[in-house]
Amino acid sequence: MNWQVYILLCSDNSLYTGITTDITRRFQQHVDGRGAKYFRGRQPLQVVYLEADHSRASASRREGFIKKLKRAEKEHFLLQQKSEAP
């Protein structure tokens, strides 16, 4: 199965990182309050990063790596990804 790693920008300007097999479904779950407890009291605004073609294990490892980054490091990571996009 094709797993994806994603980062969402939230209503409190925080960044949420997760994994899924269907980003559209997962984003809607977060909007509807059926996703992570993290979204109680805040709303997801948009997907700011999406990385596809992972196995479940590699997606989890990548998610863990991104979650350990400090806010400034995540912002730098996102800027790097945007500058490398075609």
The predicted-structure confidence for 3-29, as pLDDT tens digits, reads as follows 999 999 999 999 999 999 999 999 999
Nearest to 28 by CA among 1, 6, 60: 6
Joined together, the tokens standing for residue 30 give 């977060």
pTM equals: 0.92
Mean pLDDT for the stretch of residues 57-82: 95
CATH number, domain containing residue 71:
3.40.1440.10
Mean pLDDT for the stretch of residues 70-85: 87
Domain holding 39, by residue range, is 3-84
How far apart CA 86 and CA 25 sit, in angstroms, is: 26
Domains in the chain, number: 1
Decide: 49 and 7 in contact? Cβ < 8 Å.
yes
Is residue 8 classed as helix, strand or coil in its secondary structure?
strand
What pLDDT shows up at residue 83?
67
What pLDDT shows up at residue 84?
66
Decide: 11 and 70 in contact? Cβ < 8 Å.
no
Residue 30 — very low, low, confident or very high, per pLDDT cuts 50/70/90? very high
